[in-house]
Structures are given as structure tokens and as C-alpha cells.
Structure 1
């Protein structure tokens, strides 16, 4: 049996990334003037957890940075120094370095060692009033320079009487515990050893570290009285003498090893270095020591004195089974402490969604088949099919909810970016979010990050004014930037708003004319605002590393349109700008209305449908050269004859004989002229572009209950075409 070590590293990588994101969130939210004890403890815990995980897997570079970071945080939370904005800046920089190092181990990306050294020096300079010249960590374990160590005098002293252990295990344990404080070793009778630890950390932290190497129940722990000043001075002098003679000589020097053996000796004594594990895995090597991190079972059993038991008789087996059943029936004492979530790869979720999609299609086929049966004769079968339909829908909704993620996954990325960009531009920005718990499909969430990032940067750079300009306009020095998300029908609406200067109509029109874009002075504001999405369009007076090159906004709109979404802009000069993005909640399964034109059946997404009706002849009017309109409760709506769009032979050419469906999207309405309504059903969306090619006016396809393929209409494209029906190139 081969043990895949990569799965353990992947869990650490995922958890470390979450901890670093949580650290950044806490740092940005902390009140520097009056930080609460809980906030400081929470920040400390994230750094401590990252350090512990990195130490467990032998990632020394991350351990070195977190060691200094944790020490500085520990002094701040204990009130030994006040939290300042310089501390927060340094901690955020350290978080960035740790993320870079994490990506280096996980993805093999480059790590800027100069940047790492700069952050270490910055943290060191901030903590220089509490850093001593003495290092308490063995150099074979912790390669940090000597000045990184911390003076743990004044802390509690614990004595750990260890059971009989090999010297390499004692070395590894001393190095581990050395991260928490000063460690000295004392030989005992019977070949045993005692460790004396002076630390400011809790006893639980010491036990947690020890549990990686030995069973804590096998060692005896006692707290020693604090040293007097004279004893501390003698101990310090003795430690300095020993270090000068032996080089941190807490342990006997080991005999020289070959280079390969020395490399294998790293990793804290119980995990091989990550590089060595990867090399062994590539070569298919099965380490005789149990794949490099577990001893062989035979060795463990022999060391523990476990002997093979005789094979039990059938009667003994039956008695043992009864005892086991009795134990199983007892309620678990730790049931409430079990984890409430599990990690599942996205591939498994996608596979489950695909299978549910096929189940929905199969259910629709069964439902269509039984529609022709006599309800009186096949009552029980029809009831079972109805139950299957309900269960299928419940299952589909439950499975789809697995892929739904809160928008906080996206929103949490922006506070840091807003803070850094505002400081870079010399502006003051209050960042406010709303609706972070609103859920969106994971696939859409990942694709919306880049467009939102560009919109937020644009609002800070172009929208919000400099403090002196805002002051002159009667505004507060700090501009306000809002990021909100909410559900609206079958869509999610994401808005980026600012209270800045708003869009400048004259400047946009002038730039558009100079760029050769077809514009007129009579264009509505909404049409003028859409010009900023033209490729290469920018009104910035100079190019900076933030903006001004005219790339980005066209990509933003193209990406959002590709997700089936729309972008709308509202702006008032001097009051601010709001950019609204509308996206479908999911791209996998949707509720649709089946409509028929001639012999063809199409699917209308139900979220765009307002109502359906059969118009009276007098409500249908024709505008010369512009097609027909229909009067609906005093409002004239453009009439879209679907049969003309797709060149289909319809049953009816007179709207008064057929049906119209009133649609609304992007704030505009239109009436779609069709022959008949077939019904309402859930459909599984299949990507038409990847399976065939892009078709104008069609957003996808689905498989009907009879096995036929039905096209899903692109409502936004249909309504946009309603004012240009004479232009056949739209749907050519």
C-alpha cells in the first residue's frame, strides 16, 4: 500500500491560505487606537497556526518569518508595546511574503528572497526593544540569524521528563519546543532525558507540539519555580559559555553525514523535506522507513512490546462482537466536537451536478411518456412519477447549493486593495460592503473577480476625488466606495458605487469623436456611458500604473457578457457613479418556458418572462420601416416576430391569432410573438459554443424529454435587436 504524502500537504496548503486570508481581514478591521484583546488574540492565533503547520511539514522558510511575526504579536497582545499603523503595515507585508512562500511550495513559483529579507528586517526593527542577542533554537533546525531570537526570561519554567527515546527524536523534540522558548536538556538515570523549557506560551501549546513526536501521557510534566535574578544571570553566563564552545550546544554534536543523509535529516525529525518526498515519489521509491515519515509496522510493534495474538475461536469472536456492538450503541462523547464540514474536490462536485442534470432529463422523459396514459388505469404509476418529479427537483436544488458560494469570497479581497491603492494615490476611501452572504455559483464567482477588481480600481482612481477637491465641493475628505450584492428574480445584482465626481459627458463625447466612434450630441446619457466600454477608450490625461491605457473596461463587459450577464451605468455629475452587473445565479440548470414557433420548440429563461397574452387586433400597430409595436396597458412595446428572426414557417403571422410573451431585461421591455406555449420545466443548459459554434440570439441548448434538442433564447440579444429589426446582419 502506497501512502500519498501529497494529500497531507494539500490540506496544509488550503488551511494556510485560509488562515492568511483571515489574518489580512483581521488586520484591516482592527482598531489601531483601541484594539480589543480578542482581536489581537485572533491575529496571534492565525500566525501561530500557520507556524505550527509549516513546522510540522518542514517548511523552514515560512517558520522563520512566522516565528518573528508571532513574537511581535505576542508582545503586543500582552500589552508590552502599543499597536501602531507601522505594525499593521508590517504584518500585512509579512502576510504577503508568507503567501508568496506558500505559493512557492505549492506551485513551484519563484520566491523573492530579497523581499523576504526586507520584511524580516522590518519586523526585527519593530521588535528590537524585546529581542535579545541569544538564540534558543538549534541551527540544524532553525536557520534564522541569531538576532531573530527572543529573550524568554521571566516566563514560566516547565520540566518535561521524557521516556526512553532515540537521540534524533530528542533533538527533533527540543528543536520543536525551542520555537516556544528557551530549552535545556538534562540527562536522567536509565538513559532518559528531561527538558527544561522557559516560555511565555501556555502548557497546552507545549503539549500540542510534543504530541507530534511522542504520546504526551508517556512523559511527566511539572512546573518549576521561577529563577531568581542571580540564578538567571548564572544560567545566561553558562549558556553563553556553552554556545561559544559548542555552537548552541544543547545537544551532543552528531557525526558528519554525507550530503544526501544531511538533507534527509531535515524536516523536524519526522517528516522528510518536501523536495525529497517529491523526488522519491517521482522515482517510485518506497522508503524502508515507511515512506519517509512512518516507521514500519513491525518496528513499531516490536518497540511497543506488542506480540501477535493467537487466532480467536468462533465462540470468542461472537463474544467480542457482542461487546463491540454494545460499545457502538453508546452515544459518542465527542459527537458535538466533530467538524461540521468536509473538503471535497470541485471535480467531484461537477461530476455530481452533471449526473443530476442527466437525471433531470431522464425524469422529463418519463413524465412525457406517462402523459399519454389513462389516469384512472395507471393512477399508482402516475403518483409515483409525481413523487419522482418532486424528489428530483429537491435533489437538484440541494446539489446546486453545493456549488453556491457567498459573495464574501470575492468581497474579502478588496479591503486590502482599496487601502493600498488609496494610500498610493493620496486619497481617503471608506470601503463599505453589503450582501456579502448573497450566494452565487462558484464558476461565476471565480470569473467575476477580475471584472470587479477593475471596476473598484476605476472608482478609486477616476471616481473619488482628492481630499482637497472634495472639501471644496462640500464633501467629506474620505470618499465612500460601496460594493453590494443582492438577489433579483433568477439573477444576482452586483453594484460598485462611489460618491465621487461622476462621469463627464462632454469629456466622454469629445474623446469618442477624436477616436472615430459614431456619436452624436443628442445621445442619451445611458448611451454615452456605454461608450467607456469601447476598446481602447480612456479619458485619463496621463498614463499611470493604475490606469490610462484604455484597456480593461472593454474586457470587463466582454467577460460579463460571456457569463450571460449585463452591465448598466448610472451617473450624476458631482454625485457619483454606480455600475450594476446582472448575472444568472447558475449556468447549469434553469427554469424555462417552452414555446413553439412552427414545428420548432425554444426555451425562454423564466427569469425574463413577465406575462403572456393574446393581443387584440386594435392593440397591434405598425411603424413604417420599424416593424410593429403592441399596446400593453397604455405602454407601447416593440414586437419581435421570432419566426422572422430565425426564418421559420409559422402557424400564424397575425399576432392577434397567436400569442405574445412580455419580456424584460436591462430595464427594457419587448413582446415576443410566438405560436403557442408548451409548458414550464427545468432544463439542463448545454454549452452550444463549445459543442457547435456561437449562434446569435441563442445562449445555449438543452435536451428535451423526447430526446430532441431545443435552443435556449438569448433574451438580452432579442430585446436589443427589437429597435433594429431591419438590420438582418444582427442574426446573420
Structure 2
């Protein structure tokens, strides 16, 4: 079996990111002023140790060397010699960010910020040179440093003999014996190594991907056994290991290596660190080619395999029926086709379920974000997260993260008041930002809520007039709260008085709305003065398949997402009115619904008179519009194909699908159609008013 190092390296990249998430999450959970939680500190240490060990295994020495310094600091903390105060936790968090940037550099063969890496290394080394913090044990630093390596061992004194016999397939796990030998030298002890080659096969029988060597290592000095065992944690299931005290006579016929790493005959050549030698375009292409992966529960895979088996059985049955087919087999054929339909539907649901991930993958970054922002802005902020196990499609999850980050930053910066202001208003000095996720119908709803000052309706209205978003004669009383608050999503809109690196530049909220709408979702905002604001995002569960209503315009068939449809009616001409600017309105249950003639919108001809025609009422972002149709056909699930990647972006169209007869049908972008149509209506009304 060939050893695919690229595949193993990709696995390491994933595991490294998981360990970075653990490191950050556990660091944030530490209370610098509370009791020391050794379980948390040990978890942080193990994450750093795994990153260092994996980096060394794959010769990612920039990562391994930097993480080693962090690991040394954490080792002092878990031994009770150093307290992790707030400034040290901040430094370790920055170190995690630096490791992630180096990881990206190795993945994309690009460069990273060496200056930042060196600065952080200097800070960590200075912290180590200053000795343990004042709150730790009071022994002199020099004695503590010596004790870290040479403390007495309860098992007695003397050297250690380590019998290390890797299993033949160790390399397939991504482990390297040379890395382990290096770590033994990092203990600061004298090591003697004897390489045993007694089981080495003849050259013709040798398989270069197998490990045939065994090592006998003598570790001199008063080293704790636990420190040696820790080095072999990574390979304890992939080797035979024995650690015992040496006899006083010592070992003979060994090669002595004092305080130096293994020679070049043992250690592989260290590759050069990544450099920014590629053109920018090439770097971008390399990054785009990176494999995006997902971890799947074995139960989901087993279910998928079972369904494929059922599908194969049904296919075999239909193939048999097709041979010497006669009318007597029609009933069995119909039953077989029904079974095929059922198998296909279950297979589709199972495949989609594999792509579903808990939204905690997006929510997990916010404790760190809140911590940094609260420190930067001088505010006390509590983060509440609920519904983090709510699942949605991986693609939706990846694309919703950035809009959520912007909303949370705005909630902390614009929404929450300074502590003294909150106290003066009768509130707790600690503000609260809440993230909620839950299913509603065929969608997932995400709420970003704060208990801050809320939106100032009059201020938003004045700013909108100043920016030209509203006509000068528009009265505040003419607008509903919903209409006023939605003005904050206009391009360039901002009520911030101070421009900072957090927010206030008048960019962002329009991008947030556009990104959400590109996902087929919508966002709305509610607010109450001195109570707070809530931004509510509604998203489809998946971007791969949707339930659609087939409609006909002229000789073309289009798909309207079923989730957008409220109801369909036959037009009664007496209910149609023409408003200012020539806009047609349909009166339905005390509500005037604007009519959008889709034929004219897509250049497919004239709709003619409205009497007895079909009107399909759709809703998006709290607005309703009636789509004028020629005919409504059946409902069916459709597989979405990207029109933009295969052709180009078309206004009012979100994608395409292939129908049962092989023809291509366009899927309507309801939000895009309504945005353009209502914008034209608003423009025509403003021209008339002017």
C-alpha cells in the first residue's frame, strides 16, 4: 500500500485546527482570578503538545519550534509553578492565531508574518526568563528550572533504559521515530542510542514504507519517568515500549550523543520555510484548490451504504422485468418504480444529512471575539449561546459566519452602552449579547440579540434623509418602525459618530443583507429604546435541493421556491387599483399588494388585462408582492445548479434545474426580484412627489 503523505498532511491540518479550537476554547474558559483548574490546563497543554508533535512529524518546523515555546510555558502552569494571568492568556491566544497563520502558509505554499511570529516568540521567552509568576511557588527560578528536568523520582535514582520498538506500519499513522528521538534530547539530558537492525530484511524483501528498526535509548540523569512517557504518548498504540531503570554497570557498545539532535544520517533534511515567491494569482489559485472536508458519523455512513444496497436490489429487479416484458408485468413494474422512487428519496435525504453540521462550528468563534471587543471598548459583556446543536448545510454554515461576526461586532460596539451609562439607566453594568438558533418550518432562524440602548428611530430617519435615502418631505409618522429600522441596511448608512476599527465607516450592513439574500434568506430587525435590538436571520437548510412550484410564463417553465409562496388566487379585476406612479395594487384582506408582471420583467411579451389571471403572493424580508402568472403547474423537489458558475449572474434568477423531461428551468430569485421591483416603485413615487 502506497504511503500518501499529502493525504496524511491534510489530516494533520484538520487535526491541528481542531486542537487550536480546543486551545482557544479552554483558554477562554480559564478564570485568571479564580481557582486553578488543572484539568483545563492539562487539556490546553495536550492540545499544544499534539500540535508541536504533528508539526515535527511532517517537518513543519516553524510550527513545531514556535509551539514548543508555548508548551514550555504551559508546562510550568500545569506543574503549579506559574499562574496563567489575563496578560499571559492573551499572549497564548495570540500564539494560537500565529500558529493558524503558519498553518495556512504551509497549506497554500505562501508566506506568513515572520515579524509577528518573532515578536510573540520574544514575548514568550521573556516571560519564561523572568521565571514563574509571583503567585506560584516561591523557590528560586534557577532551582525550579533545574527541578523541571532533574527532580527526584520516586522509583529510585539512576539512568533510564528505553526499549522502543515501532510497529511496522507506524509511518502510516503519520508518526516518525526521529521526532521522538529529538524530543528526548529536548529534555536536556544526555542520551545514548543503539539502533538495532537484527530484523532488517534483505534488500529484495524490504518494503520502504515499513519500519524495521528498533532503538535502545539510555537517558542519563535524574529525569522523571512521566516526562519520558509523555513523549511516547503519540505512539503508545503503535509501538512496543518498555521504560526501566538501568543497572549501575551502564550500557555498552552504544553510540554516544551529548546534548545534540540526531545526526543527518538519522534526521531527514529540514525543508525551507515557505516563502512568498509565487505570484499573487498563483497563490490564490493554490488556496482555492485546497480540499474542503467534513467529518461524518459512522452511523450516517452505514445508513448510506444500506440505502445504496436497497437501490441496487431495486435496479436488479427492474432489469429482470425489462427482459421479455409483457403486459402481465405492468403491475410489478409500477411497484418497482415506486420502490425506486422511495429509495431515491431516502438516499437523497441521507446524502443531505451528511452535509449537515451543528451551527456550533460558527458560534464557537464568538467567545474569543466578545473577549477581545469587551477589552478593546472598555465594556463588560456576557455572551449567551443557545441552540448551538441546530444543524444546517455546510455551505450555508461557511457563508453565514462573516455576516454573524459583523452583527455581533455591531451589537457590542453600537448596541451596548458603557458600564456607567447602563448603571445610570438602571441596568446591570454588564451588557448581554445572545445568539439563538432554531428550526422554523423548512428554515433555520438565527437571532443576534443585545440588551443595549436600541435603535433611535428619529436619528435613523434624519440620517436617511441626510443621505438621500428618503425624500425630504417624508414624515417620520408616515413610516412604520419596520420601514425605519430597515433603512440601516442601505449602502453607506451609519449613525456612528466616531469612526473606529470596530465599526462606524458606513459599510457592512448592506453587505450583510446581500450575503444573506444570496443564500436565499432574509434578515429583519426589531428594536425598542433602552431595551435592546434583535436581528433575525432566516435561512434555507440547504442550498442543494429545494421544494419548488413550477409555473408557466408564455412557453417557458420557471420554478418558484415553495417557501416564499403565501397563497395563489385568481384575480378579480374590481380589486385592482392603480396607485401614484402607475403601480398596480391588488386589494386583499385590507392590504394593498403590488403586482409584478413577470412576463414584462423577463421580456417574454405582454400580460394583457388582469381579469381572471393568476396571482401568486410571495414574501421576502417582510415585504409582499403578487407575481402575475399564466399557469401554475405541479410541485416538485428540484436540484439546484449554479447559473453563475456555468454561465453568468442573471438578475432575478438564483439558479437553474433540469426537469424530468430533460429541459432546463430557471429558479426565480424572489428576494432579488422584489428588491429591484420595490426600488423602482419607490423611485417612481419620489419622482411624482418631487
For the aligned pair, the TM-score class normalised by the smaller chain equals 0.7 to 0.9
* Cα offsets for 1:246-301 (capped at 9, x unmatched): xxx972599xxxxxxx9x956x94544243999xxxxxxxxxxxxxxxxxxxxxxx
Q: For residue 565 of structure 2, what is the aligned residue in structure 1?
A: 609
Of 124, 138, 145, which residue of structure 1 is paired with 2:128? 124
Partner Cα separation in structure 1 for residue 45 and residue 259 of structure 2: 35
Whether the 8 Å CA contact 2:550–2:636 is kept in 1: the answer is yes
Partner Cα separation in structure 2 for residue 40 and residue 514 of structure 1: 54
Partner Cα separation in structure 2 for residue 134 and residue 173 of structure 1: 27
Partner Cα separation in structure 2 for residue 170 and residue 515 of structure 1: 67
Q: For residue 98 of structure 1, what is the aligned residue in structure 2?
A: 99
Q: For residue 544 of structure 1, what is the aligned residue in structure 2?
A: 500
Distance 1:446 1:458, change over 3 A: same
1:19-168 pair list within 5 angstroms: 19-32=19-32, 33-107=34-108, 108-110=110-112, 111-112=114-115, 113-124=117-128, 127-128=131-132, 150-155=148-153, 159-162=160-163
Partner Cα separation in structure 2 for residue 392 and residue 507 of structure 1: 55
Q: For residue 629 of structure 1, what is the aligned residue in structure 2?
A: 586
Q: For residue 298 of structure 1, what is the aligned residue in structure 2?
A: none
Q: CA deviation at 1:706?
A: 1.1
Distance 1:717 1:89, change over 3 A: closer
Q: CA deviation at 1:162?
A: 4.5
1:685-704 pair list within 5 angstroms: 685-704=640-659
Q: For residue 361 of structure 2, what is the aligned residue in structure 1?
A: 409
How does the TM-score come out when normalised to structure 2?
A: 0.74
Q: CA deviation at 1:551?
A: 2.2
3-state SS of 2:520 partner: coil
List runs of 5+ in structure 2 lacking aligned partners. 134-138, 167-175, 199-214, 249-254, 276-294, 299-303, 686-690
3-state SS of 1:535 partner: coil
How does the TM-score come out when normalised to structure 1?
A: 0.70
Q: For residue 475 of structure 2, what is the aligned residue in structure 1?
A: 521
1:446-465 pair list within 5 angstroms: 446-465=398-417
1:587-598 pair list within 5 angstroms: 587-598=543-554
Distance 1:507 1:725, change over 3 A: closer
- 1:666 equivalent to 2:621? Answer yes
Q: CA deviation at 1:568?
A: 1.4
Q: For residue 184 of structure 2, what is the aligned residue in structure 1?
A: 177
Q: For residue 201 of structure 1, what is the aligned residue in structure 2?
A: 226
Whether the 8 Å CA contact 1:432–1:481 is kept in 2: the answer is yes
Whether the 8 Å CA contact 1:177–1:209 is kept in 2: the answer is no
1:420-439 pair list within 5 angstroms: 420-439=372-391
List runs of 5+ in structure 1 lacking aligned partners. 136-146, 228-248, 255-261, 279-338, 343-351
Q: CA deviation at 1:562?
A: 2.5
Q: For residue 173 of structure 2, what is the aligned residue in structure 1?
A: none
Distance 1:250 1:455, change over 3 A: farther
Distance 1:659 1:173, change over 3 A: closer
Q: CA deviation at 1:598?
A: 4.1
1:158-557 pair list within 5 angstroms: 159-162=160-163, 174-179=181-186, 182-185=189-192, 194-196=218-220, 198-199=223-224, 201=226, 204-208=229-233, 215-216=239-240, 220-223=242-245, 251=257, 269-275=266-272, 378-519=330-471, 520-522=474-476, 523-557=479-513
Q: CA deviation at 1:435?
A: 2.0
Distance 1:12 1:152, change over 3 A: farther
Q: For residue 16 of structure 1, what is the aligned residue in structure 2?
A: 16
Q: CA deviation at 1:507?
A: 2.7
Whether the 8 Å CA contact 1:604–1:713 is kept in 2: the answer is yes
Q: CA deviation at 1:552?
A: 2.0
Distance 1:691 1:49, change over 3 A: closer
Whether the 8 Å CA contact 1:375–1:382 is kept in 2: the answer is no
Q: CA deviation at 1:416?
A: 0.8
Q: CA deviation at 1:407?
A: 1.5
Q: For residue 634 of structure 2, what is the aligned residue in structure 1?
A: 679
Partner Cα separation in structure 2 for residue 701 and residue 484 of structure 1: 32
Distance 1:728 1:3, change over 3 A: same
Q: Which has the larger radius of gyration?
A: 1
Whether the 8 Å CA contact 2:459–2:495 is kept in 1: the answer is yes
Q: CA deviation at 1:100?
A: 3.3
Q: For residue 542 of structure 2, what is the aligned residue in structure 1?
A: 586
Of 699, 705, 708, which residue of structure 1 is paired with 2:663? 708
* Cα offsets for 1:126-174 (capped at 9, x unmatched): 7436796599xxxxxxxxxxx8994441345672154899xxx999755
3-state SS of 1:663 partner: strand
Partner Cα separation in structure 2 for residue 376 and residue 122 of structure 1: 88
* Cα offsets for 1:32-90 (capped at 9, x unmatched): 41344432322222122122222323444433443343344344334445443334223
Q: For residue 288 of structure 2, what is the aligned residue in structure 1?
A: none
* Cα offsets for 1:609-638 (capped at 9, x unmatched): 3344556x4884435544242435x66644
3-state SS of 2:383 partner: strand
Which region of structure 1 is more displaced relative to structure 2, 448-457 or 689-698?
689-698
Distance 1:175 1:675, change over 3 A: closer
3-state SS of 2:539 partner: strand
Partner Cα separation in structure 1 for residue 338 and residue 178 of structure 2: 68
Whether the 8 Å CA contact 1:494–1:580 is kept in 2: the answer is yes
How many residue pairs match? The answer is 596
Partner Cα separation in structure 2 for residue 534 and residue 173 of structure 1: 58
Partner Cα separation in structure 1 for residue 394 and residue 497 of structure 2: 38
Distance 1:85 1:153, change over 3 A: same
Whether the 8 Å CA contact 1:155–1:200 is kept in 2: the answer is yes
Which region of structure 1 is more displaced relative to structure 2, 419-428 or 441-450?
441-450
* Cα offsets for 1:523-542 (capped at 9, x unmatched): 33323323323333322223
